Every structure is written in structure tokens, then in C-alpha cells.
Amino acid sequence: MIRVQNITKSFGAVQAVRDVSFEAPDGKITGLLGPNGAGKSTTLRVLYTVIKPDSGSANIDGVDVVTDSLEARRRVGALPHGAGLYQHLTARENIAYYATLAGVPKSEIDGRVEKVIDELEIIEFADRQTKGFSQGQRTKVALARSLVHDPHNVILDEPTSGLDVTATRSLRDIIRKLKSNGRCVLFSSHIMQEVAALCDDIVIISHGKVAIQGTTERILERTGTNDLEDAFVAAIRRVEPVA
Amino acid sequence: MKTILTVIRKEVLDNFRDRRTLLTAVIMGPLFGPLLFAVMINLSIEKSLSAGERTLEVPVIGAELAPNLVRFLESKSINAIDGPETIDEAIEAVKSGEQSVVVRIVPEFGEQLANAEPATVEVYSDEADNDARKEARRVRSALGEYSQGISALRLMARGVSPQVLRAINIDEVDVSTPSGRSGLLLGMMSYFFIFAMLIGGMYLAIDSTAGERERGSLEPLLSLPVTRDQLMLGKILASCVFMALSLALSIVAFAIAISYLPLQKLGMTPNFGPVAAVGAFFILAPFMLLGASMMTLVASFTKSYKEAQTWVSAVLFAPTLPIIVVSILQVRPAFELMFVPSLSQHLLLVDMVKNEPVVLENIVASAVSTLLLGGLFAWIAAKLYRREGLLG
């Protein structure tokens, strides 16, 4: 369960996030939808605690991301946008490294690594050095290593970008599987169809502000449209800064 | 602690598989110094041997006027040959470097000698040229000897003992030990060791900071339930592992090179056996933490791998400055100097190689102060690692 309350974050003169609040409940997939530069990544970065909000608060399973960031990180598996692997390590070694750092007991590491390799269908390339992996393979390994400590909350920043159709589909299946395990999945995308196909709840962000949030049906209802694309455009227009 | 060890193990494994990093650490750093050293020593041996023993060929104008003098010079391995005929030609030949030394015996030489007047012999040489100066000195000292011989004969002919002319007898006693002399030349080896050490850890320091950020593997790493201090410390210590490897290889290579070099010919007996090699390792070891922290600190400031490379290369030369200054000023090891990293290691190492007693307090002062400074740099690096700007 992820809860965000009124967070604000500026980089210099640029206000990346302005007063954003939303909730991502357990057992559901929550989609953070918005155009490029809307503040999605910044919001997610605050949640996996690599940056601190200027004001407002956020918590993971009730653990504050600022005051108890270490514990918050323990409850989160994060896949940042464009996450890189260690090229000279094999996929398995990459995953095992994260497992050890995340505090998985030594006796359980092999089993856990094996389990995510199996779940994410990595076995074919698990023992190759990751140099030269395709984008799809890289994403799978990066996701596997962020899931290896079995986090209850999963944060994915544009996980499907750069993936081909098959890879995207297989990733969607994985995300659905995470949800059916009762996890809280929060993922961002600027592709509406993807969010529509996958998410239970949608939070549309534009210019650092939440434009609208709710289930697909609710959003269609509130924007008075019958097409998510129209709803998206309508919602974004609401927060467009007055020129 | 477990986290730090995990990071060290991963960084070492990762970089061991990176051919460039490995080659730099085990080949370039450790072998560059000893090789260069061997070449320099060999050159200097050749030079000093040739200067003393080689037969000099010196054009003598008017050789026929002084056959006895020419014969005497020959006995001193200085052969008179044909060359320039006039003063102008002589000057020209020396100026152009065609001849190092030209001797001219003036036409009145025989007459002056017969009249017991000072007979003139002119020596033309370019004193700005090191080699020419050495050869001219040999010619002059041979001429001086000849002159003394004749003076002695003249005094005896007048019933005066040649001893009269020697009011003072100068006895030179050179107290510099053979290994003392070698210390000067071996002084530069401390720089090679420090250089090899830094080079060995350089790529790891860059890879684990700027490289990690450029690859996009930093952000997921920071989202793990570990503190940034632990990550940073692990990375710095991983650099230390590579630096230790480089240093050890470099010392071994050096010890081997030295045992093959004909240093005795230069009057050197450097103390660089197995015990000294181990001693050298421990004298230099405290510098690892400082070097690794410095490089990591600089690399984490930069935005890309390339930029980091540029800046870290600059760091490689920082430790040489104190060594150069001291080599020029010829400073003796003093307790205060033990608080200057790189310099203290250099001074201790030189003393050890010169077979001079190394004071224990100095070793402790050097190690403690260098480690403290290293710790400070590591702390600053860790502090900087907590900044958000790190993600770039």
C-alpha cells in the first residue's frame, strides 16, 4: 500500500511536482499516466527514496519514506526508468547481488534467485554476462533483481519503453501476476492504451499536478467522454498553465 | 559490514572481468615503472662507464711542436688526431658540435718551454655541453699532470724538492656508502610505486561511481535497503583491493628488475631484498585508502565516465608534487615531514633502500596521518554520495 500526500518537489526554478496526492492499494495495479515531463518519475523517485520531497509526505505500508527511508526501501522493489545492469556479471549474478544487498539470508539466496529466474522466464540467458542483452532481456533481469527480495510493493517507471510487442506482452503478464499475489503495483507510462489495458486505478498527472484519478470508468464519467484518449486530453487541459 | 563486503566482492569480480581495468591494474601500472627504471639505469651505467674508460680522440693543432706532450696524452688514453688547422676552424668545429674538444699548441711552445717560461696550450670546448665538459676536463687534468711533472723536474734540477710546492696535502675521504649513492637514483621508485597503485585503482574508482551512473545502474542500487555510506565505503575499499594488487605486483617486478641490473658498476648496493619488499608494501599501504578516496571523490563529482577519466588522471600527478619538491631541495627525513602523505612514504622508502635506520615513530606518524587523511576524504566522498544531484 502506497500513500502519497501533497508532495512537492522543485529542481532549482522548475517545479517538477506540485501538491500530488494519491493512493495505490494492495492487490491492484495503479497507473501513473501523463505526458513526458509531467512529474511521474520525480514522484516515483520520491517513493523509492532516492530523492526527498520539499514538502508533503509519502509512506509505504505506513512507513514514511523520509524519516524511515531504509525500512521503506525494504518494502519496495523499484525498477527505475532505463535501469542498467552490470555488464560483466551474468544475469544470475546481477540478481544475486541485489538479493544479498537487500538482506536476503544467505541460505535463501540461491532459491530466491532461482524462483525469480523461473517466474520471469530468464533461464535461457541466466548464466550469460549481460553485455549485449536485448532491451527485453535487460528489463526482465532488472525487474527480477528488484523483485528478488520479495517486496510487497512494486514501483515500475516506464518499464515497457523500448520493448517490442512480445516483450511488452510478457511484461504485462508478469505485472498481472504480481497483482494476483496481492502486491501493490504502481507503474508509470505515457502510453494510454497500456495503462488502460493493465490498470485498475489511474492517476493522470500533468505539469506536476494530479489532473484526475480513479478507475477507468470513473474517469470517463467525470470527463464526460467515452474514450480514454479524449479523457486524457481533457484531463491534461485542466491543469495546463494559463499561458 | 556484510553489505560493505558484498559491494567489495561484486566490484572486484565485475572489474576483474573487465579487460581494460584488469590490464591497467596488473600490467600497465606495475610494469611501467620497473621497465622505465631499468632503461634509465642502463643508460646511466653506459654513460658513466664510457666517460671514464673510452679512448678520447682529440684534434691537436700543432701536435708536431710537442711530441713529448702528445705521447704523454696517449698514455692517458687521449689520442691526438688531425682536425681543424686554424683557430677559427677549431672554434667552428666545437660550436657545431663536430668536435667536443680541440687542443692547440701555440707555435712558441717549444721556445717557451726551453726558456722555462709558462708555455701556452689552448683548449677549446663548449662548456654548456655536458659531454664536452667532461671530455675537456679529462684533457685539462691530463695537461695539468704533464705540467706538474715538468715543474717537478725543473725544481729538482735547481736542487729544490718538489715538496715545496705542496703546502697542503688534500686527502678526500668519501663517506657516502655505496647504497647511499643508489638512494638518489632509487628515489624515483617511490613515485613509480605510488603511480602504479593509483593506476591500479583508477578504473574501478571511475567505474563504480561515474560509470555506474552513466549505465543507469546507480538509481536502482540506491533504491535498495542499504545506506549510501555503506555503498560508498564498499566501492572505496574495492579500489583499495585493486591498488594493493597493483602495488604488490609492482614491488615484485621492481625487486626482480633490480636483481638483474648491474648496479654494482655504479657503486650501488640497494637494499631491496624480500624483507625490504615486504617493508615497502607496508610503508606504502596506508596511501591506498587516501588514493582510493581521492579518486572516488573526484570521480563522483563528474558527470560521465570520460569526464571522470580526465579529472582522475589529474589526481595521479598530485602525489608527485611533494616528492619532486623534496628531491630538488634534497630534504632529509624529519618528523614533521611524516605528516605529508606521499612525501612521508617516499622518504621512508628511500631511507630503507639506502640501508639507513628507519625510525619507528616516523613509520607510525606517516601511517596514522595518511590513514586519517584518507578517512577524511572517504567521509567527504560518502557525504557527497548522499546528495540528490548525484543522480544527474
CA distance A109 to A89: 16
CA distance B273 to B280: 10
CA distance A48 to A226: 35
Alpha helices by DSSP H, listed for chain A, are 40-47, 69-74, 91-101, 106-119, 135-147, 165-180, 192-198, 216-223, 228-239
What residues does B60 pair with on adjacent strands? B103
* Arithmetic mean of pLDDT over chain B: 84
Question: Which is more confidently placed, B292 or A163?
Answer: B292
Tell me: do B104 and B205 sit in the same domain: no
Q: What is the pLDDT, as a whole number, of residue B167? A: 78
CB contacts < 8 A, A to B, total 78
Closest A-chain CA to B15: A88
pLDDT-derived band at A242 (thresholds 50, 70, 90) equals very low
CA distance A78 to A143: 8
Chain B environment of A149 (Cβ under 8 Å): 225
Last residue of a domain, one of A150, A165, A199: A150
Tell me: do A173 and A120 sit in the same domain: no
Q: Do A101 and B18 touch (CB under 8 A)?
A: no
Alpha helices by DSSP H, listed for B98-227, are 109-114, 130-157, 178-206, 212-215, 218-222
Backbone angles phi, psi at A218, to 5 degrees: -65, -40
Tell me: do A66 and A172 sit in the same domain: yes
Q: Do B223 and A76 touch (CB under 8 A)?
A: yes
Total domains present in chain A: 2
Chain B environment of A71 (Cβ under 8 Å): 225
Distance from CA of B223 to the nearest CA of A (A): 6
Total domains present in chain B: 2
Which of A82, A101, A149 has the CB atom closest to B3's CB atom? A101
Last residue of a domain, one of A103, A127, A150: A150
Chain A environment of B225 (Cβ under 8 Å): 70-71, 73-74, 101-103, 149
pLDDT-derived band at B374 (thresholds 50, 70, 90) equals very high
Lateral strand order in the sheet of A63-64: A14-24, A2-11, A55-60, A63-64
Write the pLDDT tens digit of every residue in B194-217.
Answer: 888 998 899 899 988 888 988 889
Residue that has been written with the C-alpha cell 685539462 in this structure = B140
Q: Do B17 and A129 touch (CB under 8 A)?
A: yes
Percent of chain B with pLDDT over 70: 90
A119 Cβ contact list (under 8 Å, min separation 6): A144, A147, A174, A177
B273 occurs within a structural domain: yes
Closest B-chain CA to A72: B225
Q: Do A85 and B217 touch (CB under 8 A)?
A: yes
Q: What is the pLDDT, as a whole number, of residue B181? A: 52
Domain ranges, residue A126? 83-150
pLDDT-derived band at B300 (thresholds 50, 70, 90) equals confident
Residue B52 clears pLDDT 60, i.e. is over it: no
Task: Give me the CATH number covering residue A225.
Answer: 3.40.50.300
Tell me: do A60 and A11 sit in the same domain: yes
CA distance B147 to B356: 44
Task: Give me the CATH number covering residue B149.
Answer: 3.40.1710.10
Distance from CA of A156 to the nearest CA of B (A): 11
CB-CB contact of A99 with A166 (8 Å): no
From the list A74, A81, A63, A167, the residue with the least C-alpha distance to A125 is A167
Q: What is the pLDDT, as a whole number, of residue B392? A: 60
Q: Is the dihedral of CA B332, B335, B341, B345 positive or negative?
A: positive
- Mean pLDDT over residues A197-204, rounded? 91
With an 8 Å Cβ cutoff, the interface of chain B facing chain A consists of 2-3, 6-7, 10, 13-15, 17-18, 215-217, 219-227, 388, 391
Tell me: do A55 and A162 sit in the same domain: yes
A215 Cβ contact list (under 8 Å, min separation 6): A200, A201, A202
B373 occurs within a structural domain: yes
Q: What is the pLDDT, as a whole number, of residue B264? A: 67
DSSP tag of B333? P
Give the A window 138-157 contacts with B, CB below 8 Å: 142, 145-146, 149
Question: Which is more confidently placed, B178 or A113?
Answer: A113
> What one-character-per-residue DSSP string does B342-380 give?
THHHHHHHHHHHTTPPPPHHHHHHHHHHHHHHHHHHHHH
Q: Do B388 and A102 touch (CB under 8 A)?
A: no
Closest B-chain CA to A89: B14
- Mean pLDDT over residues B70-80, rounded? 85
Q: What is the pLDDT, as a whole number, of residue B156? A: 86
Residue B187 clears pLDDT 80, i.e. is over it: no
CB-CB contact of A157 with A80 (8 Å): yes
Backbone angles phi, psi at A29, to 5 degrees: -105, 120
Tell me: do A60 and A156 sit in the same domain: yes
Best interface-test mutation with A: which of B1, B13, B223 has the largest number of A CBs within 10 A? B223
Q: Do B388 and A86 touch (CB under 8 A)?
A: no
Write the pLDDT tens digit of every residue in A108-155.
Answer: 999 999 999 998 989 999 999 999 999 999 999 999 999 999 999 999
Q: What is the pLDDT, as a whole number, of residue A243? A: 39
Tell me: do B379 and B246 sit in the same domain: yes
B264 occurs within a structural domain: yes
Residue A240 clears pLDDT 70, i.e. is over it: no
Q: What is the pLDDT, as a whole number, of residue A146? A: 93
CA distance B162 to B152: 5
- Mean pLDDT over residues B286-315, rounded? 89
Tell me: do B182 and B289 sit in the same domain: yes
Write the pLDDT tens digit of every residue in B213-259.
Answer: 888 899 999 999 999 999 999 999 999 999 999 999 999 988 888 88
Percent of chain B with pLDDT over 90: 19
CA distance B216 to A138: 12
pLDDT-derived band at A241 (thresholds 50, 70, 90) equals low
Tell me: do B153 and B181 sit in the same domain: no
B82 Cβ contact list (under 8 Å, min separation 6): B59
Tell me: do B106 and B222 sit in the same domain: no
Residue B323 clears pLDDT 90, i.e. is over it: no
CA distance A148 to A99: 6
Which of B17, B220, B226 has the CB atom closest to A142's CB atom? B220
DSSP tag of A129? B
pLDDT-derived band at B50 (thresholds 50, 70, 90) equals low
Q: Do A89 and B3 touch (CB under 8 A)?
A: no
Chain B environment of A150 (Cβ under 8 Å): none
The cell for A158 is 516506464
C-alpha dihedral, A217 to A219 to A223 to A229, nearest 10°: -90
Residue that has been written with the C-alpha cell 539470508 in this structure = A105
Which of B10, B13, B220 has the CB atom closest to A80's CB atom? B220
Residue B180 clears pLDDT 70, i.e. is over it: no
Residue A36 clears pLDDT 90, i.e. is over it: no
Residue B174 clears pLDDT 70, i.e. is over it: no
Tell me: do B186 and B294 sit in the same domain: yes
CB-CB contact of A45 with A53 (8 Å): no
Task: Name the packing angle between helices A216-223 and A228-239 (round to 10°).
Answer: 60
Distance from CA of A217 to the nearest CA of B (A): 34
Tell me: do B82 and B155 sit in the same domain: yes
From the list A16, A57, A48, the residue with the least C-alpha distance to A34 is A16
Give the A window 82-141 contacts with B, CB below 8 Å: 82-89, 93, 97-98, 100-103, 129
Tell me: do A160 and A71 sit in the same domain: yes
CB-CB contact of A156 with A140 (8 Å): no
Tell me: do A94 and A52 sit in the same domain: no
Which of B6, B220, B223 has the CB atom closest to A49's CB atom? B223
Chain B environment of A51 (Cβ under 8 Å): 388, 391
CA distance B14 to B222: 18
Tell me: do B246 and B371 sit in the same domain: yes
Domain ranges, residue B302? 2-44+177-391
Question: Which is more confidently placed, B236 or B129?
Answer: B236
Give the A window 48-77 contacts with B, CB below 8 Å: 48-52, 70-71, 73-74, 76
Which of A48, A100, A129 has the CB atom closest to B223's CB atom? A48
CA distance A146 to B11: 19
ipTM of the complex: 0.93
Last residue of a domain, one of A150, A185, A204: A150
Tell me: do A130 and A242 sit in the same domain: no
Distance from CA of B304 to the nearest CA of A (A): 15
CA distance B247 to B241: 10
